[in-house]
Amino acid sequence: MSSRIIPVQPFDYVVFGATGDLTKRKLIPALYHRFKDGQFDEQSRIIGVSRSKLSDADFQTLVRESIAAFVESGYQDAATIDRFVSVCSYIANDVTDEAKWGDLSKNLRNDPKVVRAFYLAIAPDLFGPTCEYIHKRKYYRRDARVVIEKPLGHDLASSIAINDEVSKIFHEDQVYRIDHYLGKETVQNLLALRFANIMFEPIWNSAHIDHVQITVAESVGAGTRGYYDESGALRDMVQNHIIQLLCLVAMEPPASDAANALRDEKLKVLRSLKPVTGPDVPRVTVRGQYRGGSVDGAAVAGYQDELPVEKKGSRTETFVAVKAEIQNWRWSGVPFYIRTGKRLPSRASEIVIQFRHIPHSIFDHAEGAPRPNRLVIRIQPDEGVKLLMMIKDPGPGGMRLREVPLNLSFAETFADRTPEAYERLLLDVIRGQQTLFMRRDELEAAWMWVDPIRDGWDASTDAPQSYTAGTWGPTAAIALIERDGRTWHEDGH
């Protein structure tokens, strides 16, 4: 058996926004883990860039602090940390002021065998100036890659503007639009589940599936996160994470696992989504905002109480539920119920495939009626796949039907540590593998579906519906699914 750890080519990874929260919490720990596992070594370089006036030693201290704070102690090894820190250097640079442009030339190698990647962990309004800096300073190469973080705009028009700025310098095959959800092991296992097992494909359609639920729940609040009030749950979660999950569930089998083959099929799903416009907006969508309550036994404030004075009265939604429909042969008549929110009872992300009832029951005199099968794909936490089936309860005395799970727990099945999403995605950039990154036409198709919902809410005088922190959102979200004779799956949350 070949090693699971496949080394990548040597690289120069330039991280703009090197002193920011994303770099400290996610990027440095992810790169450290990949270094520790031997996927790259001292032949590669990590070059931090930001406006702060730091020396290499200062930045290396920041790297050590990041590892100490955000890497589990069992994976911290002094000798490995020393080796990892040795590949890190720093350049002070202000891309908005040409007089303060830093010089990367001594850090970047011109060897074509060394992959050159730029990670823009900065605000989207700096993407354009940063790409211009890269081009004017002649750091651009046709084989270089650029990674851009969300939010990629707040609507279709702003998204187009941001991408236009980036595309002035970088070609589409060089651009990696990152959505960390696509790097999660369970999300990738959805592809394996569907396309590496013959048993599911014949029943993966409207003839056998009653509906699909996608839930991304967070127990944390949002009021202290400055950008959140400008985005809200629809833009922050639905437009990217949840729509990507929906596409992976609903897409047709691609011809191969090549990046564009997969992304072509996702695009078809996005273009098949039934538009939610006009009177459909209040009928098939719910938006909410949490008030004070209790989460995990602790009292928490409401969203309005967390906001600064100048933002009191904000109509930003912290919860969204939508009944989506896909207008194609495979999914006609199968609703996709999606929901996401802050200050819900627990942190949980899952996809539930609810199959139809059996057409006829022969168990008229049995204890317990047959229930439809459910396939539950748990993305976080406790990653795994569970198939709920009906069996006979063991023992004499008649037929007693009982629902039991066939349960695949990743933690129990795979003893090794499961890498974080950023670990895979950061090195997929080096590999030149774009499968788990969004293509521009995907992004724009997602905005085309989301924008009319936002417009409908903005045109309404109704405020978001209030829900108590620690509950599963507004009562209208329950009504959204229950008026169709269905209910939200909440077992095990």
What positions carry a catalytic annotation? 241
Cis peptide before 370 (omega within 30 of 0): no
Query: Considering Cα of 368, then 374, then 380, then 382, what sign does the dihedral take?
Result: positive
Q: Are strands 115-120 and 145-148 parallel, antiparallel or unpaired?
A: parallel
SS3 call for 61: helix
In DSSP terms, which residues pair with 408 in a beta bridge?
Answer: 385
Q: How far apart are CA 410 and CA 397, in angstroms?
A: 37
Q: How far apart are CA 491 and CA 472, in angstroms?
A: 13
Tokens describing residue 90: 């720093």
Contact 173, 167 (CB under 8 A): no
Q: How far apart are CA 164 and CA 332, in angstroms?
A: 35
Q: What are phi and psi of 56, to 5 degrees?
A: -55, -40
Contact 286, 294 (CB under 8 A): no
First to last CA, the chain: 38
Q: Put residue 266 in one of left, alpha, beta given phi > 0 → left and psi -120 to 50 → alpha.
A: alpha
Q: How far apart are CA 281 and CA 454, in angstroms?
A: 9
Burial of 298 (0-12, 13-18, 19+ CB in 10 A): exposed
Buried b (16+ CB within 10 A) or exposed e, 336-366: bbbbbbbbbbeebbbbbbbbeeeeeeeeeeb
Q: DSSP for 234-247, please give it.
A: IIIIIIIIIHHHHH
Smallest Cα–Cα separation from 379: which of 179, 153, 229?
Answer: 179
**Identity at 368, one-letter amino acid code:** G
Cis peptide before 151 (omega within 30 of 0): yes
Q: How far apart are CA 268 and CA 252, in angstroms?
A: 9
